[in-house]
Amino acid sequence: MLPMHLHATASLNEFAKANSDVIEVVLRPGCYLTHDVGIYKKAQNEIFARNPIAKKMGEGLKPALQLWAYVQSIPEPDRAIIGLGKRDSAFDAGMPEPARHYRPGTEAPRDVTPDEGWEIFGLMDQHGIEIMILSLNAPAVQAVPDARKASELARRANDALAEVVAKRPDRFQGFAALALQDVDGAIREYQRCMKQLKFKGALVNGFSQVNDPNSAVYLDLPQYRPFWAAVQESDMPFYLHPRNPLPIHSQIYEGHPWLMGPTWAFGQETAVHALRLIGSGLFDEYPRLQIVLGHMGEGLPYSMWRIDHRNAWVKTKHKHKAKNRIVDYFNANFHLTTSGNFRTQTLIDALLEIGADRILFSTDWPFENIDHAADWFDAASISEADREKIGRTNARRLFKL
């Protein structure tokens, strides 16, 4: 099986690079992972420099939980896990379960040299996963309003990811991170990633904040047409990944923070973004574009009929710019992954709507457990022919693996 989305690349924090005992640096919002007190102090100093009030969140907690609390207060683009290739049971005992679960261990899997310490290969082997495609976490580059800084961050992330892929190209491939705050720069970086780094497409975390932290600039807007032309020319897929709406656009969630993120806001935000792409006429201009949506399509397969028909008794022409029905583009220009949506009923609905040739198995690791994804998929009530397509052959074709 070939999971299409692994949120893991390199740290955004310079201090990690200065420590030779840091074996692996992996991006994930939530916590710093290390048993080395010196690394704690360096992490804390950087956190305090960015957010002086963060210290209050960790008072009275043991060190492991302090770091967890500190990082919870940092904006997502500045969060990272710093993992060492050693397991410290005392440290682990102090960490919340999600942190322990994804921490590198001491036992090297059979196909990894001990100095690499990548526990993920053992999980992949255990669950029949041959290749993972890695990407930068969300919202990352899209949440950096300064175009120059965003572009620099994207390039650094892509170079770091390329180094990881180069170590084990038989197990890892990569998606490019792109700073759409600068369209021309994003095109150049995209072409570099496709031609020089040999990445398998790009992953962008929804809208970009451009110049103003409160701005939300979507990819259907006219200034992005040259970018889409470059994507079509490359003949590689584009992964539209979720992010939360900005606070100024989130009034409907006020008082209900549990609805943010993957519970609801991720899917709603990304589904509307995808519909904007379709309704703008993008796929009439660039009919060979292929967009990948995670989480079984962010709820769109279930809504296709209603989106197109509205109230059938109203005999008025649709107001979007696309020449055909929305469902026609959905079936011709989109692929869906199973990432973070391990429910057979939802899979069957997606199969009926878009077909087995356009669905890809994915784990969404480390935000979801690999065993949960693989065990569910292996037992899902679908034909073996469809299981092979979704679990392997579709990915080989789409990503040219």
Which residues are marked as active site? 364
User: Residue 54: which residues within 8 A CB-CB, separation 6 or more?
Assistant: 47, 48, 70, 73, 74
- The enclosing H or E element of 335 equals strand 334-337
DSSP 246: P
The answer to whether 319 touches 350, Cβ cutoff 8 Å, is no
In residues, how long is the chain? 401
The answer to whether 362 touches 372, Cβ cutoff 8 Å, is no
Distance (Å, rounded) from C-alpha 389 to C-alpha 306?
A: 28
Could you tell me which of 287, 302, 294 has the C-alpha nearest to residue 351? Answer: 302
Number of Cα atoms under 13 Å in the Cβ half of residue 17: 7
Please give the angle made by the CA atoms of 182, 268 and 210, to the nearest 5 degrees: 20
